Structure formats: C-alpha cells, structure tokens
Amino acid sequence: MADPKRSAVILVDMAREFVEPGGFIADAGGPDYQHRAQAIIPPLQRLVVAARKAGAKVVYSTDEHTPNDLEMRKWPPHSMKATKWAEIVPELAMQPGDLSIPKTTYSGFQSSDMESQLRSRGIDTLYITGLHTDCCCRHTSGDAFQKGFNLVWVTDALQAFTQEGHDTGLEYFRVWYATEPEEQFKTVDEIVAEWAAAPDAAVSD
C-alpha cells in the first residue's frame, strides 16, 4: 500500500460546469450523463474525508478558462474563471489543507505548476478521480505516468459522457499505464479501508 502521506487524491474537473444542469458541459452530456456525474459525488465525499484523516493531500485540478485559452479553439466557453461554473461542487468544497491547482488544458500538468507543487510535498502516488475518464483524467494520467508518479485509478469515482467512454478510458489506463493492474484499480471503499488500517491513520497533516 502506498504511504498516504506521500499520496494525493486528484479531483479532476469536479466543477459545477461539469455536473449541474445549466453548465455547457453538463447540458451537452444530457440527463443521463448528469445523473452518472452526480453519482460519483458521494463516493468522492467519503474518499476526501478519509484522505484528510490519513494525511493524503486533496488536490483540485479544475478548469478555470479565459477567452484566449487554446481549448476555446475546440470547445465553446466553459468553466470560465471567476464564474460560478468554475466553482467546485458544494458537496466537495475545499477544506483547510487542501490544494487548488487550476488548469486551462486537459491535463493540469500542461498548464500549471502541478508537478512542482506535488514534488515539493514529497508526493509520489496519485489517486485519479473525477471527470472525464477518457479525456482530462486520461491526459492527466498520461503526463503523471511519464513523469514517474505512481498511479491508482478510483473506479467508482470516475465518469465520462457515456458509460462506454468510461469503460474505454479504464481499459486505456490498463493497457498503457498500469504496471501492476491488480493494485492500481480500486474502489473508494477499498482505499478507505487501506488508509484506515495504516499505522498512524488517525494523524492528519
């Protein structure tokens, strides 16, 4: 088991834009997508509570776009900086000690100092969660893998526009990035149980 204190839970794009009706992304996915995106919030709530207790860092890697961002060449404006749509969903609100590293690209490693912020805290293992399994989580995973971070994909805390996209994304991780698949695909309950069993699980940083 990875040392929780050298680990970070990465919440990718858990902003209102991606989850709530009225956001461009959420509306583009439609009601079925919105239901599945909202369904990962309770597992994520349990995971971040356990992470904070175990001493793992909770990191928010969320779009905060400006009109000049390169993504605007591909997508209409979404999750724009300083609007409510770029806010983290209330159920997953940041707590003292959490870390926000806004991004303007699919992968936070490409448009922020995410790597240096993680390295400076001694973090070597990333638990990947959020939206979308086959896009921003995939690109974040690819960069993390190639930068030498250990990776765990939290299967019930990830989703995509379609269930097929989610399943395809998980399989992509398995084929291209996983080095020990039996240890790298876990549910929230499995991770929470591991952290609870850690020797100093009750001590938070």
Measured over the CA atoms of residue 16, residue 56, residue 166 and residue 115, the dihedral's sign is: positive
CATH number at residue 38: 3.40.50.850
Closest alpha carbon to 59 in 3, 153, 126, 111: 126
Range of the domain at 105: 4-196
Closest alpha carbon to 12 in 82, 114, 83: 114
Closest alpha carbon to 130 in 1, 30, 21, 8: 8
Q: Is residue 153 part of a domain?
A: yes
Q: Is residue 167 part of a domain?
A: yes
Peptide bond preceding 166 in cis form (omega within 30 of 0):
no
The C-alpha atoms of residue 112 and residue 107 are separated, in whole angstroms, by 9
pLDDT means over runs of 10, the chain (205 residues)? 94 98 97 98 98 98 97 96 98 98 98 98 98 98 98 98 98 98 97 89 45
User: What are residue 80's phi and psi, to 5 degrees?
Assistant: -75, 140
DSSP code of residue 175: H
The C-alpha atoms of residue 28 and residue 43 are separated, in whole angstroms, by 24
pLDDT of residue 201: 54
Q: Is residue 204 part of a domain?
A: no
Residue type present at position 76: P
The C-alpha atoms of residue 24 and residue 76 are separated, in whole angstroms, by 8
Q: Is residue 29 part of a domain?
A: yes
153-185: per-residue pLDDT in tens? 999 999 999 999 999 999 999 999 999 999 999
The C-alpha atoms of residue 77 and residue 37 are separated, in whole angstroms, by 20
pLDDT of residue 202: 47
Name the domain count of the chain.
1
The 3-class SS string of 99-158 reads EECCECCCCHHHHCCHHHHHHHCCCCEEEEEEECCCCHHHHHHHHHHHCCCEEEEEEEEE
Q: Is residue 201 part of a domain?
A: no
pLDDT of residue 61: 98
Q: Is residue 202 part of a domain?
A: no
Q: Is residue 148 part of a domain?
A: yes
Angle CA(166)–CA(171)–CA(172) in degrees, nearest 5? 95
